[in-house]
Homo-oligomer: A and B are copies of this chain.
């Protein structure tokens, strides 16, 4: 029995060798080794599955490719883009924002329209995008709050037409929200959002550097409470747990922001986030099925896959 196994293994190696290294046809290998072509075919299958034969692509990008494919397969994405690790002291957020802008630019038709979420990264992307495109990009905001969407670049060319929701991000109470949502100006923006070709949103994590915290939209206490309720991050200020389910809170009712259901229904939603601190948040967003495309850095992507595998 063990001997049989050993013989089979040898056969596997020989067949793999002849087929892949010597380029001999399965037919001929079969004749030479005195086995049927079909057997050769199956042995090759086995050899591939068992890793007896191993393909490798000579290229520095291959590991990133691998990660991209893994992410796409695992989370049923349309695409994934992994940014190489930062070299020396370069801000990974900036790299990823730049990559995202490039990615979007390559895929954006002339004079078309994109939705933008709230956050530091989307803001940066917008800046890059507006700088690199020759014809103006139409940008529709998915949330209230305007500061994030405004250009903070000194470049003279800012080729973007901004269509911002004329409202703050967080209101005092739900009544105010309903009132604002009735506004024609707000409705108009909401309608535009449905026409956009793609949607770019940032993914926030629960650490103390979160934009919504540092810009004063939420208090530290709100944040802590959400964390305790199981929130791992947010998209458009909607907090989600590790499986992407919404975490209920009083904030939810006070938001001027596209709902998660609407987000899910959009076709080309690109999630952008960098840094290992965001790992859990991104994983939540992926598991929730909100994203069609993910753009992140290599370290974070590896982290995500690692967590998945270990669970």
In contact, B134 and A22 (Cβ under 8 angstroms): no
Bits for A110-121, please: 1 = Cβ < 8 Å to B, else 0: 000000000000
Stretch at the interface among A8-16, A170-178, A301-309: A8-16
In contact, B60 and A53 (Cβ under 8 angstroms): no
Bits for A34-74, please: 1 = Cβ < 8 Å to B, else 0: 00000000000000000111111111111101100100000
| Residue from B21, B24, B87 within 8 A of A57 (CB atoms) | B21
A63 CB → nearest B CB, Å: 4
In contact, A90 and B20 (Cβ under 8 angstroms): no
In contact, B55 and A95 (Cβ under 8 angstroms): no
Tell me whether A88 is interfacial, beta carbon within 8 Å: yes
Distance between Cα atoms of A99 and B102 in the complex (Å) = 36
| Residue from B21, B59, B134 within 8 A of A60 (CB atoms) | B134
| Residue from B28, B86, B133 within 8 A of A88 (CB atoms) | B28
Q: How many copies does the complex hold?
A: 2
Tell me whether A223 is interfacial, beta carbon within 8 Å: no
In contact, A132 and B84 (Cβ under 8 angstroms): no
Distance between Cα atoms of A62 and B16 in the complex (Å) = 11
Contacts of A6 in B (CB 8 A): 63
Q: A32-B87, A88-B28 are in contact. Are A54 and B63 (CB under 8 A)?
A: no
Distance between Cα atoms of A13 and B22 in the complex (Å) = 22
Q: A22-B69, A28-B88 are in contact. Are A9 and B98 (CB under 8 A)?
A: no
A121 CB → nearest B CB, Å: 16
Tell me whether A17 is interfacial, beta carbon within 8 Å: yes
Tell me whether A75 is interfacial, beta carbon within 8 Å: no
In contact, A14 and B84 (Cβ under 8 angstroms): yes
In contact, B62 and A53 (Cβ under 8 angstroms): no
Interface centre among A18, A83, A157 (most CB of B within 10 A): A18
A-B contact pairs, 27 of them (CB 8 A): A6-B63, A9-B62, A13-B61, A13-B62, A17-B57, A17-B62, A17-B65, A17-B83, A21-B57, A21-B65, A21-B66, A21-B95, A21-B98, A22-B87, A22-B90, A22-B95, A24-B90, A52-B57, A53-B56, A54-B55, A54-B56, A56-B56, A58-B132, A58-B134, A58-B157, A59-B134, A60-B134
Which 5 A/B pairs are nearest by Cβ-Cβ distance?
Answer: A9-B63, A20-B55, A13-B59, A58-B134, A14-B84
